[in-house]
Every structure is written in structure tokens, then in C-alpha cells.
Structure 1
């Protein structure tokens, strides 16, 4: 759809909004008029939309800002929002942060992959979540430049007992070992809810792998999916990781160690893990460098 089609569709929805629960306009061109009509629709009190997907809609910061501003006026029904692969500038991130802080907001899934979010903007976003942490269950900030300070602020959020995140995706976030270490250390203090963690294509050094291993050994940890593709994990670090899994093997179902240098001893240790009856892995990825 072009802007003209999106505009016609959203204009029509405004005349009968009360039944709509899910709207997916991903990979269509939402131009100025399309965004304007959609924003008007989102502000109608009778609209009880629960899931809104707008990934790859070629929206600029202006469009994203108008949209997130509209969501603030009718926040209580929305449970899932996907704005991935659009440009979120300062004003859009600020509006989105205001939405997250509204007590009536009960957003459970937030997908912001590849949204041009900078280190500074990520600080605004995670700070907002700290003020209203109890509802969010899934957070995807992959392919954004969070940097170590952004990750450290996110780490503070992860330590809040009321924050019950189940799925965290942070692949390609320009994190060094320092940021990854802060993040994995934070997860250790509030481990019982997390079910899926993706840190692919970030640099996990010795301290980050050690903290992650400590997390895996905690009895309360119930992590089911762990993605560490292209994390610069060495043979020695893989030994630490797989040894940790041996002590708490029953929950993990997916493990991705693709594009790391495990070496023969790392694979041997992993093989020992695979032979443990309590280890019920369903998916293993070990694609070579």
C-alpha cells in the first residue's frame, strides 16, 4: 500500500473503531496523511486496540512522534507495539517514554529493533520504564546503538524486583565486554522471570561470560532460550559457560553458539553436557566461523 491506500484504510476504520483488537500495517508506506489518519484513529476513546504492528513503514521521526503522541491519549488497552525499522528521533522517543510512564499504560511487548535509537535516547527510554516497570514482558532493542551507558541504565532497570521481563533481545547493540558484564550481572539479581535472552553480535569478554555463567547456575533461573551468536566467545570461555549449564541443565531448550571459537575442548565439554539426562535441549546451533 502507498500512503493513499493507508490513508483510505485508516480513515474508514475511524467510522467503526470499537471492535478492532489487532492492526498490522508492516512493510507499507505510511506517508504524512496515512500517519495523520492513523493517529486520529488511535485517539478515539472507543478504540480498544491491543496489538499494533508498524515495522518497516518508512516513518520518519515526525511520523513516529505523531503516532506515539496519539497513543498517549488512549493508552489503557494497548498490549503490544512494534515500531521496528522506522526512525525514532528524540521527540518520538520522548513521547514513547511519556506513554510508558502513564499509570494506565499496560504495554507488555515493545519491539524497537533498528529504530536509530542512540545511547542518549536509550537512557530516556529505560528511565521511563523504571517508573512503571510491572507490565512489560518483552523488550527488543536489537540493532540500536545503546552503548555501554545505555546498557548500564537498562541494567539498573533489570534489577528492580517489580520488573518481570521474560524476553530480552539486544543483538547488534554495540556493547563491549563492560556493558555485557553490567547487564549479565544485573540479571543475576532478578533471574526468575527471564525465559529468552539474545546478546548476539556483541562482545562478551571474560567477566560477561562469568556473570552469565553465574546466572545460569542460580536455581531460580529458568532461562529457556539463549542466543550468543558472534559474541567473540573463546574456547576457554565456552568451557565456563557449558560447565555452568551442567549444574542447572533442566530448563534450557534452545542454545545458539554460532560464529564463536569453541574449539575441540569447548565442543567436548558441550558434548558431556548433552549426555546429561536432565538436559532437554531441543535446538542447538553451532555454525562454524
Structure 2
């Protein structure tokens, strides 16, 4: 089976965990498992983890968004209450099984800067091949950006997509990220920074980074920020200039 889907299961949490355990023989043979908003808890994850270990090469996508997992460390944990403790486990997983994970969605969790620092330690591993990282509305500020920028400089060649929408980065956070983007080995293609408190000052740093490393960034979103006309024009002109790779600019 290519895909298994169980969304918005309406039973109790205990029932959801029991159903998940019964379905494990089917799930572990699938390429994709969508278990969105099913009331799964840590108990269900405890059963799921050994099933994945028994057949580790098959499952490629696991979506456990909008469940009650707490700090269980699994892929695509959108809005699941993950905190620092879960980030420690995720960082360890990135280091110990770093060649397999390609996409990690931790949006709307309470990571804060401390959680991102812990996760960044895993991203620094030279064998980490993570390509997509989504941290939408995670309470990240410029302090977390410093850790993320450090990780990008340590292991710059794999991350292709970074979503930091609705965090409190400000100009100082964007400046830190821009320094990492200047690295000629950086291959980031998509950067989302909607409603991050960015002004013309942060855009100036980003523009400088794009001039230093013009060929890779394809999509940039700066919607809901405080950008002046001059900053918008500068980035819009870059989009029109064929020497830059920028193909999509949202503001």
C-alpha cells in the first residue's frame, strides 16, 4: 500500500492509541502514513516506534499533526506540544539516523530559542541531509536565529527550504541568517519570513547576502512585515534580473 490515511478520528484518546496499535502491521508496510488529528498520545507513539524499527526502510512520510504526543520525537509534529525535551530527542535522532530524514515540521510548537538551539546541534552533524525545516510560529527570536545560522554555516549544502513564518526574528535575526546565506556552499532555495518584524534594515542585509550568493534562492516571502517602498523595489528588481535565481517574491 502506498498511503494509509486516518484523519480526525473521533474516539477517545485511549481508543485512538488502541486503534493505532491494531493498525501497525498495515502502517509499517506503507510508504506514507497520514494520522492527522486522531487523538494519538505518547502511548500510541510508544507502539509505533518499535514497529518502525522492525521495518525501517519502507515508510517515507509520517504525519502525526494535531495529536497529543507531547515530547515524542517523530517527523511532522505540527502543533503537538513539543518542547525542549522533545528537541533533545530529535537532535539525537538527526545525529544517529541522519542520512534518512529529509523533512521536519515542528510548526506551532513551544520550541522557543532554547529548543531551536538544541535542534541546531543535530543540524550541525556533517551527515545530516535534512532538506525542509518548518518552524512556523514557534516563538523563535534572534537568539534562536544565531543558533540556526551557526548550523547553516557548519552544514550548509543540504537545507533547501526554511519556514520561519510568524516568529519574532526582527532585523537582528534576519541579519544573522543573511550571514549564513552568504556562504557559497549554501543551497537554500525557499525562505519564508512572513510577519517576523522585519524592516528595511533587515532587507538590506538580505540583499547583500543575495548579491554574494545570487544563484540559489528561488522563493522569498516577506509578507506582513514593515517594508518600505525602497526595500520592496530592490528585491523586486532582483527578481527581474536574470543574474539572480530569485523567481518568486511575496511582500
TM-score by length of 2: 0.77
Which residue number corresponds to residue 10 of structure 1?
49
- In structure 1, what is the Cα distance between the partners aligned to 2:126 and 2:94? 13
Stretches of 4+ moved more than 4 A in 1? none
TM-fit CA distance, 1:184 = 2.5
Which residue number corresponds to residue 221 of structure 2?
198
SS at match of 1:139: strand
1:137 maps to 2:160: yes
Which residue number corresponds to residue 171 of structure 1?
194
TM-fit CA distance, 1:104 = 0.6
Which residue number corresponds to residue 86 of structure 1?
109
RMSD: 2.0
Preserved CA contact (<8 Å) 1:69 1:95: no
TM-fit CA distance, 1:91 = 4.2
- In structure 2, what is the Cα distance between the partners aligned to 1:147 and 1:132? 24
Greater Rg, structure 1 or structure 2? 1
TM-fit CA distance, 1:18 = 3.3
- In structure 2, what is the Cα distance between the partners aligned to 1:207 and 1:181? 10
Q: Which runs of 5+ in 2 are unaligned?
A: 1-38
Give per-residue Cα distances to partners, 1:255-287, cap 9 Å, x unaligned.
xxxxxxxxxxxxxxxxxxxxxxxxxxxxxxxxx
Preserved CA contact (<8 Å) 2:239 2:247: no
- In structure 2, what is the Cα distance between the partners aligned to 1:72 and 1:91? 18
Which of 184, 188, 208 is the matching residue for 1:185? 208
TM-score by length of 1: 0.67
- In structure 2, what is the Cα distance between the partners aligned to 1:57 and 1:150? 25
1:226 maps to 2:249: yes
SS at match of 2:54: coil
Which of 104, 108, 121 is the matching residue for 2:131? 108
Q: Which runs of 5+ in 1 are unaligned?
A: 40-51, 229-289
Count how many residue pairs are aligned between Structure 1 and Structure 2.
212
1:71 maps to 2:110: no
Preserved CA contact (<8 Å) 1:2 1:30: yes
Preserved CA contact (<8 Å) 1:65 1:91: no
- In structure 1, what is the Cα distance between the partners aligned to 2:173 and 2:145? 6
